[in-house]
Structure 1
Amino acid sequence: MLQFIRRLAAAVTLLPVFSPALAENLATSQGELSLTRVAGGFDVPWAFGFLPDGGVLVTERGGHLFHVRGGQKKRVSGTPEVAAEGQGGLLDVMVPRDFAQSREVFLTYAKRQGRGAGTALAAGQLNPDNTRLVNVRVLFEAAPGARGGRHFGARVVEARDGTLFLSLGERGDRPSAQDLRLHQGSVVRINRDGTVPASNPFIGTQGAQPEIWSYGHRNPQGMALDLQGNLWVAEHGAKGGDEVNRVRKGANYGWPVISYGRHYSGARIGEGSAKPGMEQPEWYWDPSIAPSGMMIYSGRMWPAWRGDIFVGSLKFDYISRLSGTALKEVEQLRSGETGRIRDVQEAPDGSIWFASETEGAIFRLAR
């Protein structure tokens, strides 16, 4: 009986994935691109990250992490316990530049905090056969604040200097985004071991959380570095006013004092769309597209797109391409397979991959 149980567990762990097959072509400004389903059968895939050996790690919001390679997906055990409620759960996954040496993986998630939950960041090491995270530890968790299941933010990006940026939503508690005593509605910056960098802008400010790098954000679910190493976020507005912001040290991005959107009731938000001391977005969408994953392209496969920003839309089922010195949306990449886009990433070969929540699948765009 014990041997049967072990065989059954192994069969459940090693799950078949749709073998790569051309689904269709997608018309773009760079001609017809091939759209391939790489892996499927996911329940709300939220993020993915590339491993040096060609494998891919994929998170499901419900709390599962998978390793995908060679036509199969394996469940990775050892992930932290998550509060899978509303928009919360297991969210981003980030593979750092030194993974080949460190085997470290970073995960963001909604962490239970008493009767509520807060955005947290954990790190662990992926074992050699890619089936388990070990030495898992919490590097950061937001100071306890609002309850409920909204606006966790939760992208994590490795900066060029090795520090980590983490985006946090205001958890539906609008005024908290202007309160430096809370982490809600901010981008935080920490060292890889969870300590606070000495150059953070609010160290020494009475009552301020020392991890905060910028604040006044509503719900940044997209975050990426540009080709010069500058940090950008894409964040949800209310009714209209989804924003793309270049994130600057110590800057205030205005929520909920200024916004280009309105409350869902139609009522005016705050004091208008501008105020001294508060940053303007580089771009905003009206109507809202519900932006999620974000990537800034290297130009490796399509040189004409070098430096362009790609943002997934949860509402209108497309990938937005933004370009120009005065940033604007210049193209919408859309097909019958896109659906609600949770994440967009550039693969090592320059192809563009995305996670479709609607399809429960990962797709690849290439020549």
Structure 2
Amino acid sequence: MKNFGFSVLTLSLAAGLGTACSQEASTAQNPSSGNCTPLETRTANAPDQKPAFAGQTRACAITSTTAFQVETLATGLEKPWAVEPLPDGALLVTEKPGRLRIISATGQVGQPITGVPAVDARGQGGLLDVVLSPSFSTDRTIFWSYSEPRNGGNGTSVARGVLSQDRTSLSQVQVILRTMPTFNGDKHFGSRLAFGPDGNLYVTMGERSELMTRPQAQHMDSHLGKILKITPSGAPAPDNPFVGQAGALPEIWTVGHRNVQSAAFDAEGKLWVVEMGPQGGDELNLIQKGKNYGWPLVTYGEEYSGKPVPNAVTQKEGFEQPVYYWDPVIAPSGAQFYTGDAFPEWRGSLFVGGLKDKRLVRLKIENGKVTGEEHLLADRGQRIRDVRQGPDGALYVVTDQSNGELWKISPR
């Protein structure tokens, strides 16, 4: 039996050093050295690699003055992967074993919603992201991604369904996208979902991690290692860049990704993703139609073994550079541009969940470049899987653990 609880912890922001700056790079270890202190001072995994431009890594440490409190709305969640606020302040939460729940604004945890298809919950698989239809208030439709069990293995799929008025069940469930090829593995499902201002659904994909599947991130006849763009019914978006191209899947929007579990639109309607790279190669990318983001040919960092990524370089003509990269990595998952009124100081900041170092990352982005970085909640020591903004302007976070938690971050 799960043990759900409620507690409140009041915090002040963690101290940081320096202010944002954009000094010319002096070394790969400390490219922002000059009039500020970079937040990251640990030895890089790939210290001989040089950034392509000043400020591409090791941004200046910034410290916000806003005081906030963290409320633990629920505990006992089993490997929660996503949190999606509902218009009335309740929250949809996915659990990797295959459960979808609603948690009230005051922390009351509902029973699993019925109608969710079976998932393959091995490794990194399971029930993953969930988002509301742009017209949820009238159609009550939700969309979710999951690792679907299939003959010969599994694959990332996207389904939609209508949430009942009493919020206990799903009806009219349809699988609207089955990414291909099927593969018998348990890693790099990608799976972050984001509706764009155009009303289309963007789906992030991993390349399934294995050496044999990696090259498919560059293959146009495979969904692996891509960002896809579909209509709410699952059809390829009509303006996709490779529609009608021989040998190319029409759902493809961009190419060359490793494993994207973070995706968010900014206030200007631009899509940003934070991508899990190899050891020392997590990337913040600004997504542009039809572009190639390099993996596994162009990347920062190295293999987990400490060896170079085979036949890879950090820069190559025809491939996009990340706006920012981390070395060492943060292992990013979940992202949210803050647009609310509860924290005016944070407006425009990109928040990113950090799994490896167990913290919430805040990036200040100005004119398309990262000018400052702040790490929050590190004292809580929990892997942060997702972060979303609620209608009240608060931030909601779920933690990646067997006894996972749901937090609410609000002004103190």
Report the TM-score when normalising by structure 2: 0.83
Letter in 1 for 2:388: Q
* Matched-pair contact (CA < 8 Å) for 2:360–2:378: no
1:106-185 counterparts in 2 under 5 A? 106-172=143-209, 173-185=213-225
Aligned to 1:360: 404
Change in Cα spacing, 1:37 to 1:319, as seen in structure 2 (3 Å) is: same
| 1:1-367 equivalent positions in 2, closer than 5 A | 17-19=4-6, 21-28=7-14, 29-69=64-104, 70-74=106-110, 75-172=112-209, 173-269=213-309, 270-325=311-366, 326-337=369-380, 339-358=382-401, 360-367=404-411
Q: Distance in 1 between matches of 2:365 and 2:197?
A: 24
Q: CA 1:328–1:82 in structure 2 vs 1: closer, same or farther (change >3 Å)?
A: farther
With 189-198 and 300-309 compared, the bigger mean Cα shift is at: 300-309
CA contact (8 A) 2:3 2:75 kept: no
Partner secondary structure for residue 84 of structure 1: coil
Paired with 2:123 and 2:407, the residues of 1 have a C-alpha distance of 25
Using the TM superposition, give the Cα deviation of residue 335 of structure 1 relative to its aligned residue in structure 2, in angstroms.
Answer: 4.2
Measured in 2, the distance between the counterparts of 1:342 and 1:73 equals 19
SS in 1 for 2:137: helix
Q: CA deviation at 1:319?
A: 0.7
Cα distance in 2 for residues equivalent to 1:27 and 1:103: 37
Is this contact kept in 1: 2:152–2:182, CA < 8 A?
Answer: no
Deviation at 1:330, TM superposition (A): 1.5
Range moving further from structure 2, 225-234 or 317-326: 317-326
Partners in 2 of 1:287 and 1:221 — Cα distance? 18
Question: 1:291 offset after TM fit, Å?
Answer: 0.5
Question: Which residue does the alignment assign to 2:48?
Answer: none
Amino acid paired to 1:27: L
Percent identity among equivalent residues? Answer: 41
Distance in 1, Cα, partners of 2:356 & 2:281:
14
Q: Give the Cα–Cα distance (whole angstroms) in 1 for the partners of residues 270 and 203 of structure 2.
A: 14
Structure 2 unaligned regions, length at least 5: 15-63
Q: Is the 2:285–2:322 Cα contact (8 Å) retained in structure 1? A: yes
Counterpart AA for 1:237: G
Please identify which structure carries the higher strand content.
1
Q: Residues 75-98 of structure 1, C-alpha deviation per residue, up to 9 Å, x if partnerless?
A: 111101111111010000101231
The change in CA–CA distance for 1:137 and 1:209 in structure 2 (over 3 A counts) is same
The root-mean-square deviation of aligned C-alpha atoms, in Å, is 1.5
- How far is the alpha carbon of 1:274 from its aligned partner? 0.7
Counterpart in 1 of 2:33? Answer: none
Cα-to-partner distance string for 1:287-307 (whole Å, 9 max, x where unaligned): 011110111111422222221
